[in-house]
Structure 1
Amino acid sequence: MADQPTNLDSHRGMAAQKATDLRRLRAEVEADQEALRSRQAALEDLLAAAPATDWHEAVEKARYLLGLLAQSLDASDLRRSKLIDRVLADFDHLLGKSTHD
């Protein structure tokens, strides 16, 4: 019996190896997406848990929602994208920042 495990990948043909690599990558992406959904739900629970205590907290909640809206916009909807960018710039201006975080 060998001390080292047998590397089965080296015994597969190129097509089988590619299929295996694709399955592994897909599984990793799906796990990453599930972890992201979980973190996103935790963030949304935190944002919804209590009213903002100041303008900075209110702006962070609005930034998050505007970011979600921006992601869902059709790429050709330049008018709404521009409006979102302007609102974010207004937040920065009103809070005394040079750029949004």
Structure 2
Amino acid sequence: MTDKPVDLDAHRGFAAMKATEIRRQRLYEFQIDQEALRVRQEELEKALSQPAESWLEAAGKAQYLLQIFATTPEAQDPHRQALIARTLDDLAKLCERSKERP
């Protein structure tokens, strides 16, 4: 064995090197997107940790939490998925009605 690293790119053709570079770029972009998503989610959850000042805000918090719960293994049961969907629909309708009222 040798301590000297082997430059694998020198043993590949141009197409393989290009494909590798594209995969690396996509991975890098994915990691950047994931970090931005994580930061936005932290900011949203920080804002949601404040007390609601209206029923509309409370309904928005409930919708967010239900959407998170819907992605968990416990919520994958078809009956629970239907309940979550109906509840989210109800909250959306009630929010729209409260916006229409003066």
Verify same fold: TM over 0.5: yes
Provide TM-score, normalisation by structure 1: 0.75
What's 1:19 paired with? Answer: 20
Structure 1 residue ranges without an equivalent (≥5):
1-11
CA deviation profile, 1:16-48 (whole Å, cap 9, x unmatched): 110010001000001100010000000000100
Deviation at 1:75, TM superposition (A): 8.3
* Distance change (3 Å), C-alpha of 1:38 and 1:83: same
* Distance change (3 Å), C-alpha of 1:75 and 1:57: closer
Rounded Cα–Cα distance in structure 1 between residues aligned with 2:28 and 2:70: 28
1:4-83 to structure 2, matched below 5 A, reads 13-48=14-49, 50-73=50-73, 77-83=77-83
Rounded Cα–Cα distance in structure 2 between residues aligned with 1:21 and 1:75: 37
CA RMSD of aligned residues (A): 2.0
* Distance change (3 Å), C-alpha of 1:76 and 1:47: closer
Rounded Cα–Cα distance in structure 2 between residues aligned with 1:79 and 1:62: 19
Rounded Cα–Cα distance in structure 2 between residues aligned with 1:22 and 1:60: 38
Deviation at 1:92, TM superposition (A): 3.0
Structure 2 residue ranges without an equivalent (≥5):
1-12
Of structures 1 and 2, the one with the larger relative CO (CA 8 A, separation 6+) is: 2
Rounded Cα–Cα distance in structure 2 between residues aligned with 1:65 and 1:90: 15
Amino acid at match of 1:23: R
Q: How high is the sequence identity, in percent, across the aligned residues?
A: 40
Provide TM-score, normalisation by structure 2: 0.74
